[in-house]
Structure 1
Amino acid sequence: MFIPIDWQTQAKVLRDCVLMAWVVGVVNFAYLGGGLNRLLGIRPREPLGLLGILFSPFLHRNAAHLIANTLPFAILGWLVLLQGLDDFYAISVAILLVSGLGTWIFGRAAIHLGASGLIFGYLGYLIARGYLEVTLMTLGLAFLVMLLYGDQFWSIMPGADDTTMSWEGHLFGFLGGVLAASNPGFLDQIGVFLARL
């Protein structure tokens, strides 16, 4: 359902998301020695690792990792927010579920964390919308996203050189975004669930 929101509301939603990640990051780094990463990151095929589906987007390896995810999240999150506030939450939850479950089922034995899965999900969503629902706005957003972040697609490939990067989270996040764009019924179900919370 498209409910347009003003830019002040968009800014507040993004600010609150970024602030939450930074507060968790500061507490985790400064006071807990990264302990939340070990407890709440996605650990593939371990039952406790399922908690990471909800919590890992707020956890990062270090301050540099958090900084690297902040700007892309804010930019791409804002572009997704142009779809409307309710859709933003449903799209984000859909991406987190697909990214998290895909990483938990198929990921390497490691602790996977960070907002990259969500960021790549926003990429997938915006690009797929430009392909599936051809309007001047969706095509423009897809072009902008490709211009800004097209060089990052190498990191969704298995065996990406950086072993500290979760290509699995990137890949399944991207697929989650494509699923969200191509299956409005799935988004509607998530929206109904969120409305009941």
Structure 2
Amino acid sequence: MNLKFTPATWLFPLLFVGVLWLVFGIEEFLNTTFVAFSLNPRTFTGLAGVVCAPFLHADIEHLANNSVALLALLTALMYFYRRLALKVVVIGILLSGIITWVIGRPSYHLGASSLIYVVASFLIFKGLQVQHYRLVALSFLVIFFYGSSIWYMFPTADAGISWEGHLSGFIAGLFLTKKYADYNPIIEPQYEWQRPDYDPSTDKFMQRFDENGNFVNPPPPEPEPEASPEFQIIYDFKPKKEESN
């Protein structure tokens, strides 16, 4: 399994969360609110919230809680599923928003928690689908930290919690797992810079690794260089003939 912690792994989550704080900061600076752009189910104007609602938050506590979860989950998504990460985020936002628009209560729904449920659901089910030990471990890790959040996908006494958005995000993440069922991060596709006739099985370097990327075939030790003979200097003096008187 070819995993690399590239700058994009942490840069994308930081930028995404940074946009959330930027929007909130603009609201505070202008002493206004963008609640009119939040999701209002089954209304024409509420359709704008399908895209805008994840970037809006009720207060700083709401934003801070979502930011911590997003940083952790988006980083895991970028690290283990970097080729699908942007698709999961974009499609997840749109799909969870549409479902919420259809099933939600007549109220304003806003916040990035629906995206949190999208990513958490995808990480859980995709890891169990691939059945690679690292991805399964990630699935159980997400369950351990966010498993209790399952109760917020059902109607609660707290009217301020959009359980419809949470449920929609969970459904969207499960749908994306099925949509990209053929994607296996263990088997990386050929890079564009590789020659069309490149065969990793004949590459001596690649033969040192198994199909999971584990190092199994160390290279043979290089032969020690032969000891060079000692460097000797031989002086050949010939006696000088004495000149006769």
Range of TM-score over shorter length: 0.7 to 0.9
1:161 deviates by 2.2
Supply the distance in 2 between the matched residues of 1:96 and 1:22 (Cα, whole angstroms): 18
- The structure number with the bigger radius of gyration is 2
Residue from 173, 198, 205 that aligns with 1:177 = 173
Supply the distance in 2 between the matched residues of 1:97 and 1:160 (Cα, whole angstroms): 24
Supply the distance in 2 between the matched residues of 1:5 and 1:27 (Cα, whole angstroms): 35
Q: Does the 8 A contact of 2:8 with 2:78 survive in 1?
A: no
* Unaligned runs of at least 5 residues, structure 2: 184-245
* Unaligned runs of at least 5 residues, structure 1: 188-197
1:18 deviates by 0.9
Name the SS of the counterpart of 2:111 in structure 1.
Answer: coil
- The 1:128–1:84 alpha-carbon spacing in structure 2 relative to 1, beyond 3 Å, is closer
Q: Does the 8 A contact of 1:4 with 1:84 survive in 2?
A: no
Supply the distance in 2 between the matched residues of 1:166 and 1:58 (Cα, whole angstroms): 15
Higher relative contact order (CA 8 A, sep 6+): 1
Within 5 Å, give how 1:66-85 maps onto structure 2: 66-85=63-82
Supply the distance in 2 between the matched residues of 1:90 and 1:83 (Cα, whole angstroms): 14
Q: Does the 8 A contact of 2:70 with 2:116 survive in 1?
A: yes
Q: Does the 8 A contact of 1:126 with 1:141 survive in 2?
A: yes
Name the SS of the counterpart of 2:62 in structure 1.
Answer: helix
1:133 deviates by 1.5
Q: Does the 8 A contact of 1:155 with 1:170 survive in 2?
A: yes
1:149 deviates by 0.8
- Matched to 1:166, the amino acid is S
Residue from 126, 138, 144 that aligns with 1:129 = 126
Residue deviations 1:56-83 (CA, integer Å, cap 9, x gap): 1110001111011000000011111123
Select the structure that is richer in helix. Answer: 1
- TM-score after normalising by structure 2: 0.70
Residue deviations 1:89-132 (CA, integer Å, cap 9, x gap): 10111211221001101100111000000001111101111222
Q: How many residues align?
A: 183
- Matched to 2:15, the amino acid is D
Instruction: Give me the identity figure in percent.
Output: 28
Residue deviations 1:130-165 (CA, integer Å, cap 9, x gap): 2221111220111100111111110001x2222111
- TM-score after normalising by structure 1: 0.86
Supply the distance in 2 between the matched residues of 1:120 and 1:13 (Cα, whole angstroms): 18
